[in-house]
């Protein structure tokens, strides 16, 4: 709803007044920052001048230490106040051109006055009058803006719930310090504003949605009651956006006790990490630990000398293989079992059993000379009271090893020295010879020291292999875990051992191995993580979740996924519509249904809240409705009312024509102003082939692979699984023919591809159209 001229002028006037205040503060802060910087530098420089170093006796030493600690304290204080001033300055510099984006007029119950609350990215207080000129969007009262239409409203403060009447809800578009537009909104947050936001062009980086967060999204962003929050969100419903807004919210709300280091976000790949990297800085927050699960596993397994398979290679194998191939079926069985809770129980039972015996220790040797045998290590380890946790016993063992190594080193040093003395060629002085022998001895023993520190004398891999080669161990664990072995156990065992013998660690084996390692080394927990957020949560298996829960015992979890886009195979993948398994493989009873509901079982039903986001904001209504045809029985999706062109179905009679059609569509979209155009293929193999054929027709065509870290706007080609999570102005499906997308395992992948565009979707196909779409 547009507002009158006078009101508009008043608003424009206010923008200008607030900006003047902010600019003044910026100037003041500049001076403060400069002063504090010079003070901190000066203290740093005079650090030693101000300390009286006196080491004549113990009392003097204590005094010296106290004076150092005091100086350090002063220095730290100065540095901190410099950083604080600098942060404040940066925040204001970021918002000076658009200080706020909305206003609410709220009258608290029992109060006479209607308060005008202006909401922006960061709060701002007039230092003379103490008036709050801008409220941070994360302040409790700001939630009224996101949650209510005009009328009765309530917000929650740490102390109580505050009720009242919301009289006005207004939005502003301010650019370069000028008020460009202002309108009052009714029901939900300005459809008008949202329409504007969603009609924009997609670029290679995601933006924050702070000005138009929807009520159901706000509920997730501000939730602090549940230990585990599971979000089933339709494609384009804002899951990733919500995850990032939530991080910013938590960092604000708990700013005195929580820092970015206490949070971790698992994202699907590095390309994606780069894609979302702008949002937190845009919201004025430091970026936090963002990793992929693959990177985490690689980090944990570096010393094992194995080649860890990429999840995308696993997927490529599944998508390009066929059921007739026994190796293919064996692999599917392997994946299904290794990602299941049944296998998790076996690994946990193994961990229990190892408390009383069975840990394999490696000899510690220099060259061929064994210094401490594995048997001796085992004996020492198991002679410790079994009441001690494995981790404590390991720690004590490492300490003992390090002591032994000191003795060995002294011995080796003596021998080197004697050798040098006897060596007629060597004519060094005694101190030189001593130094040389010390260095040599250190060099010889140090690798063992590092090994001891990393517990690399424990043969975790050997123990994992034993699980598949030792029938009596298997029997024992099956009993302990109360889990029968799967029918395909023999095939699974052979398959696992063969792969490991070749130095290959399959993706499905990596988490179990890391878990076993954690159990054996007693170093499973990372207590510092207080919030763990998982994006694309549908791609994680029951095994993964159980592991994450153990890994971060103090963390609250936010798991955001779309089970309609579950393209990875794992034990709880939804086989009926998904990629899980083609006929004939694995145990169907383990593969049924589940989806996100099984996560709450895994994470503890009492502590888990599941929220559904149904509305999809990314694509036009036409595209969303078109994509929904692909998954008739899937999770519900509601299209946002933004209209555009109908998706086009473009048939080619032969391959040459297909290439021509795809190239023409790309040129058309680019010519029509689309800044990002993605040609989406099914697999890496198809991408490689199509790229070769299309390149002569589309010279600027960029190929995106799993190793790509960053992409630029323009025309690009990539496999569907890499496009997941990303969005583009226009998408061209390279070949939606029945020969490419027909099996159950390809349905969700196709759906994922169709849900990537904002504005245009062209579905090219060769011959017959995929049965996933109704024929015209």
Ligand X SMILES: Nc1ncnc2c1ncn2[C@@H]1O[C@H](COP(=O)(O)OP(=O)(O)OP(=O)(O)O)[C@@H](O)[C@H]1O
**Residue 590 contacts residue 340 (beta carbons within 8 Å):** yes
**How many other C-beta atoms can be found within 10 angstroms of the C-beta atom of residue 431?**
8
Q: Are residues 200 and 674 in contact, defined by beta-carbon separation less than 8 angstroms? A: no
Of 211-219, 400-408, 467-475, 701-709, the window that binds ligand X (rule: CB under 6 A) is 211-219
* By CB under 6 A, residue 190 contacts ligand X: no
- Minimum CB separation of residue 243 from ligand X in Å reads 8
Q: Which is nearer to ligand X, 220 or 372 (CB)?
A: 220
Q: What is the DSSP letter of 701?
A: P
Contact predicate 579/553, CB 8 Å: no
Least spacing, CB of residue 562 vs ligand X, in Å: 5
What CA–CA distance (Å, rounded) separates 342 from 485? 8
Nearer to ligand X, 552 or 617 (CB): 617
Of the candidate residues 26, 197, 444, 702, the single one contacting ligand X (CB under 6 A): 197
Mark the segment that binds ligand X (CB under 6 A) among 24-32, 213-221, 419-427, 505-513.
213-221
Q: Is 240 in the site for ligand X (CB under 6 A)?
A: yes
Closer residue to ligand X (CB): 214 or 290: 214
**209 or 575, CB closer to ligand X?**
209
User: Toward ligand X, which CB reaches closer, 136 or 562?
Assistant: 562
Contact status: 238 vs ligand X (CB under 6 A): yes
Comparison of 608 and 755: residue with beta carbon closer to ligand X: 755
Q: Any known ligand binding at 237?
A: yes
Residue 102 lies near ligand X (rule: CB under 6 A): no
At its nearest, how many Å lie between ligand X and the CB of residue 775? 26
Taking CB under 6 A as the rule, does residue 194 contact ligand X? Answer: yes
If one counts every other C-beta atom within 10 angstroms of the C-beta of residue 752, the result is: 23
Q: Which residues pair with 560 in a beta bridge?
A: 231, 535
Structure tokens at 627: 């994509």
With H, G, I as helix, E, B as strand and everything else as coil, classify residue 296: helix
Could you tell me which stretch among 35-43, 239-247, 626-634, 700-708 binds ligand X (CB under 6 A)? 239-247
Is 706 a known ligand-binding residue? no
CA 535 from chain centre, in angstroms, equals 6
Q: Kindly state the smallest distance separating residue 290's Cβ from ligand X, in Å.
A: 15
214 in contact with ligand X (CB under 6 A): yes
For residues 371 and 368, what is the distance between their CA atoms, to the nearest angstrom?
A: 9
Residue 90 neighbours by CB under 8 Å, 6+ apart = 284
Whichever of 691 and 759 has its CB closer to ligand X, that residue is 759
Tokens 């730290």, located at residue: 76
The number of residues that bind ligand X (CB under 6 A) is: 22
Question: Which residue has the CB atom at the shortest distance from ligand X?
Answer: 238
Which of 252, 617, 734, 765: binder of ligand X (CB under 6 A)? 617
Residue 586 marked ligand-binding: no
Comparison of 78 and 232: residue with beta carbon closer to ligand X: 232
User: Which C-beta is closer to ligand X: that of 309 or that of 562?
Assistant: 562
Per DSSP (E only), the strands in 354-510 are: 364-366, 369-372, 504-505
Q: Does 725 bind ligand X (CB under 6 A)?
A: yes
| 175 membership: H or E segment, kind and range | strand 161-175
Pick from 562, 577, 684, 686: which binds ligand X (CB under 6 A)?
562
Task: Pick from 141, 213, 401, 481 the residue near ligand X by CB under 6 A.
Answer: 213
Beta partners for 559?
Answer: 230, 534
Tell me if 234 is assigned to a ligand binding site: yes
C-alpha span between 217 and 243 (Å, rounded): 10
How many residues in the chain? Answer: 776
CA distances (Å), origin 455, targets 257, 352, 398 = 33, 19, 7
CA distance 305 to 626: 48
Residue 597, classified by CB atoms within 10 Å of its CB into exposed (0-12), middle (13-18) or buried (19+), is: middle
Biggest CA–CA distance in the chain, Å, is: 102
Piece of the chain touching ligand X by CB under 6 A; list 208-216, 290-298, 435-443, 472-480:
208-216
Using the rule CB under 6 A, is 217 a contact of ligand X?
Answer: yes
Distance CA 586, CA 489 (A): 10
Candidate residues 99, 120, 190, 236; the one interacting with ligand X per rule CB under 6 A = 236
Distances (CA, A) of 736 to 589, 674, 711: 31, 22, 25
Contact 167, 182 (CB under 8 A): no
Residue 212 touches ligand X, criterion: CB under 6 A: yes
Contact between 538 and ligand X (CB under 6 A)?
no
Q: How far is the CB of 172 from ligand X (least distance, A)?
A: 16
Record the tokens describing residue 444, joined without a space: 């010889």
Smallest distance from the beta carbon of 211 to ligand X, in angstroms? 7
| Contact with ligand X (CB under 6 A) among 164, 233, 486, 757 | 233
Q: Was 238 annotated as part of a binding site?
A: yes
SS3 at position 413: helix
- Flag whether 414 is marked binding: no
Rounded Cα distance between 776 and 565, Å, is 25
State the DSSP string of 500-560.
HHTTEE-HHHHHHHHHHHHHHHT----TT--EEEEESGGGS-HHHHHHHHHH-TT-EEEEE
Q: For ligand X, which stretch binds (CB under 6 A), given 190-198, 252-260, 454-462, 740-748?
A: 190-198
Closest distance between ligand X and the C-beta of residue 171, in Å?
12
Crossing angle for the helix pair 542-551 and 341-354, to the nearest 10 degrees: 40
Stretch that binds ligand X, among 84-92, 230-238, 469-477, 677-685 (CB under 6 A): 230-238
Interacting residue with ligand X among 216, 727, 729, 746 (CB under 6 A): 727
Ramachandran region of residue 493, left (φ > 0), alpha (ψ -120 to 50) or beta?
A: alpha
Closer Cβ to ligand X, 231 or 532, answer by number? 231
Between CA 451 and CA 453, with CA 452 as vertex, the angle to 5 degrees is 90
- The pair of structure tokens assigned to 390 is 């494995």
Our CB check for ligand X shows the closer of 460 and 680 to be 680
Nearer to ligand X, 508 or 562 (CB): 562
CB 707 within 8 A of CB 684: no
State both tokens at 566: 């579950």
In this structure, are residues 144 and 153 in contact, taking their beta carbons and an 8 Å threshold?
yes
- Cα separation, 724 vs 722, in Å, equals 5
Give me the 145-184 binding string for ligand X, x by CB under 6 A, dash otherwise: ----------------------------------------
Q: Which listed residue (85, 98, 182, 209) binds ligand X by CB under 6 A?
A: 209
Place of tokens 């503060």: 25
Shortest separation between residue 170's beta carbon and ligand X, angstroms: 17
Nearer to ligand X, 235 or 516 (CB): 235
Closest CA to 410 of 444, 380, 376: 444
Question: In terms of CB distance, is 217 or 582 closer to ligand X?
Answer: 217
Shortest distance (Å) from residue 223 CB to ligand X: 16
Nearer to ligand X, 464 or 640 (CB): 640
d(CA 304, CA 503): 9
Query: Does residue number 759 form part of the binding site for ligand X (CB under 6 A)?
Result: no
Residue 491 counted as an annotated binding residue: no
Shortest reach from residue 39's CB to ligand X, in Å: 43
Q: Quick one: which of 123, 218, 237, 569 contacts ligand X (CB under 6 A)?
A: 237
Nearest partner of 568 among 235, 339, 771, judged by Cα:
339
If one asks whether residue 680 binds ligand X (CB under 6 A), the answer comes out as no
- Among the listed ranges 238-246, 506-514, 540-548, 590-598, the one in contact with ligand X (CB under 6 A) is 238-246
d(CA 655, CA 662): 11
620 belongs to an annotated ligand binding site: no
Q: Which residues bind ligand X (CB under 6 A)?
A: 194, 197-198, 209, 212-214, 217, 233, 235-241, 562, 617-618, 725, 727, 755
Per the annotation, binding residues for ATP are 233-240
Give the residue numbers of the binding site: 233-240
């Amino acid at each position: 709803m547009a507002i009158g001229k006078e009101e508009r002028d008043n608003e424009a006037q206010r923008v200008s007044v607030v900006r003047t205040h902010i600019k003044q503060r910026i100037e003041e802060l500049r001076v403060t920052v400069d002063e504090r910087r010079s003070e901190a530098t000066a203290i740093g420089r005079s650090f030693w001048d101000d300390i009286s170093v006196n080491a004549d006796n113990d009392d003097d030493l204590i005094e010296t230490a106290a004076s150092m600690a005091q100086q350090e304290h002063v220095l730290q204080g100065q540095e901190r106040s410099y950083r604080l001033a600098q942060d404040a300055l940066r925040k204001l510099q970021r918002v000076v051109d658009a200080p706020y984006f909305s206003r609410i007029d709220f009258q608290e119950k029992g109060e006479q006055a209607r308060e005008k609350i202006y909401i922006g990215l960061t709060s701002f207080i007039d230092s003379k009058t103490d008036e709050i000129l801008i409220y941070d969007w994360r302040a409790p009262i700001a939630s009224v803006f996101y949650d209510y239409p005009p009328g009765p409203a309530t917000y929650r403060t740490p102390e109580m719930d505050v009720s009242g009447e919301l009289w006005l809800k207004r939005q502003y578009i301010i650019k370069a310090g000028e008020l460009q537009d202002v309108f009052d909104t009714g029901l939900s947050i300005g459809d008008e504003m949202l329409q504007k936001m969603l009609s924009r062009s997609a670029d290679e980086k995601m933006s924050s949605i702070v000005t138009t967060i929807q009520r159901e999204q706000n509920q997730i962003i501000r939730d602090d009651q549940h230990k585990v929050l599971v979000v089933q969100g339709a494609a384009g419903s804002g899951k990733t956006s919500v995850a990032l807004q939530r991080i910013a919210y938590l960092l604000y709300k708990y700013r005195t006790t929580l820092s970015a280091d206490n949070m971790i976000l698992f994202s699907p790949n590095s390309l994606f990490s780069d894609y979302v990297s702008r949002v937190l800085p845009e919201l004025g927050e430091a970026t936090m630990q963002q990793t992929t699960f693959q990177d985490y596993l690689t980090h944990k397994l570096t010393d094992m000398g194995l080649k860890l398979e990429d999840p995308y290679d696993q997927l490529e194998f599944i998508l390009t293989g066929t059921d007739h191939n026994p190796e293919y079926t064996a692999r599917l069985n392997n994946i299904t079992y290794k990602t299941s809770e049944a296998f998790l129980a076996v690994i946990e039972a193994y961990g229990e059993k190892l408390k009383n015996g069975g840990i394999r220790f490696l000899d510690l040797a220099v060259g061929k000379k064994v210094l401490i045998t594995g048997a001796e290590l085992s004996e020492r380890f198991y002679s410790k009271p079994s009441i001690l946790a494995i981790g404590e016993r390991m720690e004590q063992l490492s300490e003992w090893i390090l002591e032994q190594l000191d003795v060995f080193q002294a011995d080796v040093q003596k021998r080197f020295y004697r050798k040098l003395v006897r060596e007629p060629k060597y004519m060094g002085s005694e101190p030189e010879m001593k130094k040389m022998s010390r260095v040599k001895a250190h060099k010889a023993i140090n690798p063992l020291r590092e090994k001891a520190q990393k517990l690399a004398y424990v043969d975790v891999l050997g123990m994992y292999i034993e699980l598949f080669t030792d029938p009596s161990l298997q029997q024992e664990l099956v009993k302990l875990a109360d889990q029968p072995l799967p029918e395909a156990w023999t095939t699974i065992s052979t398959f696992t051992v063969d792969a490991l013998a070749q130095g290959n660690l399959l993706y499905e084996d990596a988490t179990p191995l890391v878990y076993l390692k954690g159990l054996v080394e007693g170093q499973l927990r990372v207590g510092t993580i207080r919030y763990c957020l998982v994006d694309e949560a549908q791609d994680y298996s029951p095994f993964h979740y159980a592991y994450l829960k153990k890994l971060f015992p103090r963390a609250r979890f936010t798991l955001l996924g779309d089970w309609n886009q579950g393209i990875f195979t794992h034990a709880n993948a939804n086989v009926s519509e998904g990629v899980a398994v083609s006929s004939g493989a694995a145990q169907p009873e383990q593969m049924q249904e589940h989806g996100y509901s099984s996560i709450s079982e895994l994470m503890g039903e009492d502590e888990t809240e599941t929220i559904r986001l149904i509305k999809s904001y990314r694509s036009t209504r036409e595209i969303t409705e078109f994509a929904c045809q692909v998954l008739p029985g899937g999770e519900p999706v509601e299209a946002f009312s933004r209209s555009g062109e109908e998706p086009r179905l473009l048939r080619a009679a032969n391959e040459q024509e297909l290439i021509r059609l795809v190239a023409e569509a790309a040129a058309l979209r680019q010519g029509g102003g689309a800044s990002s155009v993605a040609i989406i293929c099914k697999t890496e193999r198809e991408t490689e082939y199509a790229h070769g054929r299309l390149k002569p027709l589309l010279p600027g065509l960029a190929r995106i692979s799993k190793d790509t870290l960053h992409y630029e706007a323009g025309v690009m080609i990539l496999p569907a699984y890499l496009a997941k999570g990303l969005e583009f102005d226009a998408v061209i499906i390279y070949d939606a023919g029945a020969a490419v997308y027909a099996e159950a395992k390809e349905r969700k992948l196709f759906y994922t591809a169709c849900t990537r565009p904002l504005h245009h979707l062209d579905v090219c196909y060769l011959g017959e159209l995929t049965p996933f779409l109704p024929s015209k």
